[in-house]
Amino acid sequence: MPHSKPLSPHAALVYVMVLTSAADRDMTDAELRTIGEIVRYLPIFKGYDSKLLTQTTAACAEILDLEDGLDKALSLIKAALEPRLRETAYAIACDVVAADGNVTQEELRLLEMIRHRLDVDRLTAAAIERGARARHASL
């Protein structure tokens, strides 16, 4: 089972994006496009085999279908990410939420859960959130 072995840091970051996109039960094209761009262009994904993206996404969805799946996924994510990468995880979660220009209550609640689980302090989280809003603003 995919939830029985530890995640790689790359897989954990993909899980964060999948959780965030699926939070409102509507994975929009803009969110999926943003996930693809993050994997292709951010330095944190240098060396990541993007062919694993579909497999990793499916494994995350499988975990989410389990009883307490969200809690299990968040535990796996935290275990896979050293503390210096947890702010990065929160930042990419915020980018996925901001991608479609429509932030839902479910997405905000999940961001709060991620922030708490990954021990991202409130001031840092606010700065990351503001940066995501600025990057995803449209005319």
Residue 26: its pLDDT value, please? 75
Whether the Cβ atoms of residue 15 and residue 56 lie closer than 8 Å to each other: yes
Reduce the DSSP state of residue 129 to 3 states and report it.
helix
Q: How many CB atoms lie within 10 A of CB 116?
A: 12
Cα–Cα dist 2/102, whole Å: 31
Share of the chain above pLDDT 90, in %: 71
* Best CA proximity match to 10, nearest among 51, 34, 39, 40: 39
Kindly indicate the confidence band of residue 29, based on its pLDDT and cuts at 50, 70 and 90: confident
* Best CA proximity match to 72, nearest among 83, 80, 64: 64
Residue 4: its pLDDT value, please? 58
Distances (CA, A) of 27 to 54, 69, 84, 86: 14, 18, 28, 23
pTM: 0.91
Q: Which sequence spans correspond to the domains of the chain?
A: 8-134
Quickly name the fold that domain 8-134 has: TerB-like (1.10.3680)
pLDDT, one tens digit per residue, over 46-104 is: 999 989 999 999 999 999 999 999 999 999 999 999 999 999 999 999 999 998 888 88
Average pLDDT, the chain: 91
In the predicted model, is pLDDT for residue 1 greater than 50? no
